[in-house]
Chain A
């Protein structure tokens, strides 16, 4: 029995399934690789120092993305400065203080849904909420991004707070520490990795966001300092990509921006893995 060969039919069937799965895998890998290489290969030749270091000028028939780079940096900074205290604060309250576990789980569920809403809806709401009162400007865009990223920061921080062993809290309470001292000295240091991971994920989302910003932050390409920049309309890299490709037909510039964003995305992925590995190693 044991040394009888499998029937031919069964062998062929096994082989066929294996081939199909290999094909599916190959196709997936090929698509990702193609997208990555195509964008980068088409983009890189268009990335010049002039492009990176100047503003666009119709008189000199020049396109530069310096304002878009600066706008992206400003909006990332403004968003994080607002979203971090809010998200981390909410997470600490929900995990450490809130007594009504039912309400906590409702809020967690709502945050879960919130992070799945299409970003264009955030844009629409942000336009009515912020752009109508403060005008189309980077700050209105940043505030919209705050709403978008709040659930992410809150949830990653919360998950990380839950990994801090209860015995640390007990130990600190047992020494007569008050609630806030326990949170500040024992709980928060233990959830730093969650906060950092949340930050990196949010930066990734902000870099890639276009729909929500089209409504709220505008399309201008002017070089400003951070304060004037936030008060003025401005395009981030993703929005500029859309504008150059769709409205001006500048595909070279669009691909240059795409390549930059692609490289940043890969870098962000590496950074997330690095942070997680770093903290995992420190814990063991």
Chain B
């Protein structure tokens, strides 16, 4: 399977502290890649580098290259607005804007210049359907998004991300703030989404990685220790550190 994102010798520093060391990884298209590792191992930092959300943090320095469909995302002629339209993001805590459900989903398309009501209506409905939340909210699209439950808010945020029709969806521990029922709904949704999207998901939950992902990358202290098919990583890890981690010896 072809890769949609390839990372070459990438390092990242927060000031003097090196958070990511010489990463090389190829993210396969239309599949789910899970990033696992103990807290502080750099997996979230790595995720946020893929759509350049780290630009917002002062003092971050990056070397090496990340290619998205062959284009270096750090090149000067890449507009980060376009990059983030291609590579969408869902955050750890549901963060709908304090506006109506409709306006939340329409925010992205409007940002990218779509203003026709008919077209917006269509996009909003499709995104909400794809995020498996349409039936629950279709009668209250004009209601404030902060009024729905946490699990619904997270699916709304997924819908919001889908509405700009990205090719890649980055998810930073999307279920860590949710109850088990909402978590399982979102996991089902993620598996459904891989038909159309490439998904990279950070998770602390080993079972979740096994349940949903096709590929797994194990990070430790800013290094990529092992990357491969999820089944292989969990059944016959090549590296001793991976084995220790997935068997729960540290983390």
Interface residues in chain A, defined as those with a beta carbon under 8 Å from any beta carbon in chain B: 99, 165, 167-178, 181, 185-186, 189-190, 283
Contacts and interface: CB of A to CB of B under 8 A. Distances in A.
Contact of A167 (B51, B82, B85, B95): B95
B91 A167 contact: yes
26 contacts: A99-B58, A165-B95, A167-B91, A167-B95, A168-B97, A168-B98, A169-B56, A170-B91, A171-B95, A171-B96, A171-B160, A174-B51, A174-B88, A174-B91, A175-B84, A175-B107, A175-B164, A176-B111, A176-B164, A177-B111, A181-B111, A185-B97, A186-B97, A189-B98, A189-B99, A190-B98
B111 A175 contact: yes
Contacts of B58: 99
Interface residues of B, number: 27
A190 B95 CA distance: 14
A174 B107 CA distance: 11
Interface in B12-59: 51, 53, 56, 58
A79 to B, nearest CB: 31
B138 interface: no
Contacts of B160: 171, 175
Given A175-B108, A175-B164, 14 more contacts: A167-B91, A167-B95, A171-B91, A171-B95, A173-B84, A175-B84, A175-B88, A175-B161, A176-B85, A176-B112, A176-B164, A181-B111, A185-B97, A189-B99
B81 A178 contact: yes
Contacts of B95: 165, 167-168, 170-171
Closest 3 CB pairs of A and B: A167-B95, A176-B84, A174-B89
**Residue among A165, A169, A176 with most chain B CB within 10 A:** A176
Interface in B81-133: 81-85, 88-89, 91, 93, 95-99, 107-108, 111-112
Given A167-B93, A181-B111, A173 B98 contact: no
A170 B53 contact: yes
A176 B109 CA distance: 10
**Residue among A168, A170, A175 with most chain B CB within 10 A:** A175
A178 B89 CA distance: 16
B66 interface: no
B200 to A, nearest CB: 14
Contacts of B11: none
